[in-house]
Amino acid sequence: MAFAPIRIPLSQLARGQRAMVECSALDALPSEHRCLLAAMGLGEACEIRVCRPGTPCIVQIDRTRLGLTREIADRIMVTPIESNSP
């Protein structure tokens, strides 16, 4: 299995794939979006699972599900922790 790239945009994860949102993952977003996402549960140091890739991108953090438009998902850099794709 090829090494997963260190950081990729959230929008490039496949269905069911998991990833870590680490320090500075949300830096590309304007601060008001960053703060809102963090308060909704998508902050630094959380693990996410992609329930539905595309638009909207639906991710699950713990038991919270968030729907994000493509532009937002494109700008969140995550570290995949396992890959479902070969």
Partner 1 sequence: MIARVALLGNPNSGKSTLFNRLCGLRTKTANFPGSTVQHQTGRFATATGVEIDLIDLPGIYSLMLEMPESKLCTDCLEGRIGDGRPDAALIVLDANNLARHLQFAASALRRGLPSVVAINMVDLAKRRGLVIDEKLASQTLGVPVVAISARTGEGIDRLVEQLTRTVSGGSVANPDRPFPESEPGSIKSAIWAAETFGRIAAHPPEVEADGMTVHDRLDAAFTHPLLGIICFALAMSLLFASIYWLAQFPMDAIDAIFGWVGLEITLFLPAGVLEDLLVNGVVGGLAATVVFLPQIVLLFFLLALLEDSGYLARAAFAVDRTMRRFGLPGQAFMPLLSSHACALPGIMATRLIPNQRDRLATILVAPFMSCSARVPVYALLTSVLFAGRPILAGLAFTGCYVLGGIAGLATSALLRRTILRGPSTPMMLELPDYRIPSIRNALVVSIDRGYFFLKNAGSVILAIAIVMWWLSAYPKSPFTQESIALQARASEVVQSDPAAAEDLQLQARRFDERAQQAHSFAGKIGGALQPLFAPIGLDRQLTVAVLTSFLAREVFITTVFVLAGAGADADSEDQGTLATIRSATREGGLPLFTLPTSGALLVFFVLAMQCLPTLVVVRRETGSWRWPLLQFGYMSVVAYLAAFVTYRLMS
Contact positions toward partner 1, by CB under 8 A?
15-16, 32-33, 35-41, 43-46, 49, 51-52, 55-56, 58, 61-72, 84
Tell me how far the alpha carbon of residue 17 is from its chain's centroid.
10
Q: How far is the CB of 82 from partner 1 (least distance, A)?
A: 9
Q: How far is the CB of 73 from partner 1 (least distance, A)?
A: 9
Contact 18, 47 (CB under 8 A): yes
> Residue 7 or 52: which CB sits closer to partner 1?
52
Kindly give the residue spans of alpha helices, DSSP state H, lying in the chain: 31-40, 70-74
Q: How far is the CB of 13 from partner 1 (least distance, A)?
A: 14
Provide the 3-class DSSP secondary structure of residue 14: coil
